[in-house]
Structure 1
Amino acid sequence: MHLFDIVIISIGLAMDASAVSMAAAACGYAQDRRAVFRLAFHFGLFQFMMPVIGWVLGTGFVSYVRAVDHWIAFGLLAFVGGRMVREGIADTEECLHRDPSKGMTMVMLSFATSIDALAIGLGLAVMDVNIWYPSALIGIITCAMSVAAIVIGKRVGAAFGSRMEIVGGIILIGLGLKILLPALFLGA
């Protein structure tokens, strides 16, 4: 897998965490450096760990699905991307009701925004990609985008939160097509 593809996957996966980070800042949370660090660190850490967990689970059955691996990768990316688009369109909540940078709320949001990364880890196992570099890049990009989203959220409010999820979903679906189409037409 090329660096460009890994960066695109990372950006797509980071959109959920970025949307939550932006909403947190727009709603008046994550105003000090500690809260910004907690959010960005936890989102990045969970986005790093979940692909590794998915990859470990996926390596156990790779040999059984080698002939349809491109369909599996496409299916996982399309499912995750489609869910992100649907959630972005349906998002009507104006403001968060709890401070997302504290306690179990932070842990649950970190877990919820990184479930998609578990599926990506499964897909990377099927594609026989070494997980450590992509997983580290996913975590770093998520952390950086969360910080940027908090800065933007403080300035422009919650107007872009759900749109970021839609963009992230479209990116993941497009990447799934990039994996599937060459396998269908070129037999790769």
Structure 2
Amino acid sequence: MPVGNILLHNGEFMTLLVMALALGMDAFSLGLGMGMLKLRTHEIARISGTIGVFHVVMPLLGMVVGMYLSSVVGDVTRWIGALLLIGLGGQMIWNSIFGKDDEAGDSRASARTSGIGLFLFALSVSLDSLSVGFSLGTFGANIALAVTLFGICGAMLAALGLGVGGRVSHLFGEYGEVIGGAVLVAFGLKFLF
């Protein structure tokens, strides 16, 4: 039975939803910082919509590459995909605990909200979904379901982070990325064994 069918029968929707929420936590955390700019509703919609599009395109690209490599190399790509998830989750946790200082947070929060600044912000928030997409491609996950969930969760959590902004960023901001990283590590370990 192909891995995609195994995932579908063992709760592929819930697995992909939890992964989408984990990836969206990064957008939420960064959105909290940018939310301190006291953005207007149309700015929040534009930023979160752009992040949602990038959360579709990046994992889709990763999945296509992962499926191609899986068909060429075989089961080795499953191990690579699982290790990528573990590494990505570990990096998210590390950056949240040790890598952020006030200046880094301020530079992210003060990024422009249109044009090239918005493009670069959405790209940086979505880079981790490229790696996750690659991992899912090696497992043969349902592409349409994955990118739909990633896009919706990325956009919604970014909008939530941007909307809530300065009110709770000092309480929850860095923990959101830790939670997201821990979920990715857990799924990487699950796929590894």
Q: TM-score, normalised by structure 1?
A: 0.87
Structure 2 residue corresponding to 1:104, chosen from 116, 131, 147: 116
Q: Is the 8 A contact 1:88 1:165 kept in 2?
A: yes
The size of the alignment, in residue pairs, is: 179
Q: TM-score, normalised by structure 2?
A: 0.85
Structure 2 residue corresponding to 1:128, chosen from 140, 153, 159: 140
Q: Is the 8 A contact 1:12 1:171 kept in 2?
A: yes
Structure 2 residue corresponding to 1:82, chosen from 90, 99, 119: 90
Identity %: 26
- Residue 100 of structure 1: CA displacement? 4.1
Structure 2 residue corresponding to 1:144, chosen from 134, 153, 156: 156
Whole-angstrom CA distance in 1 between matches of 2:62 and 2:163:
31
Distance 1:151 1:44, change over 3 A: same
Hey, which bits of structure 1, 4+ residues long, moved more than 4 A?
none
Whole-angstrom CA distance in 2 between matches of 1:170 and 1:74:
14
What is the match of residue 4 of structure 2? none
Gaps of 5+ in 1: 182-188
Q: How do 1:25-174 residues align onto structure 2 when only pairs under 5 Å count?
A: 25=35, 27-29=36-38, 31-89=39-97, 90-93=99-102, 94-96=105-107, 98-174=110-186
Q: Which amino acid aligns with 2:106?
A: C
Q: Is the 8 A contact 2:63 2:134 kept in 1?
A: yes
2:75 partner SS: helix
RMSD, matched Cα: 1.7
What is the match of residue 175 of structure 1? 187
Q: Which amino acid aligns with 2:71?
A: S
Gaps of 5+ in 2: 1-6
What is the match of residue 24 of structure 2? 14
- Residue 104 of structure 1: CA displacement? 1.4
Whole-angstrom CA distance in 1 between matches of 2:111 and 2:138:
38
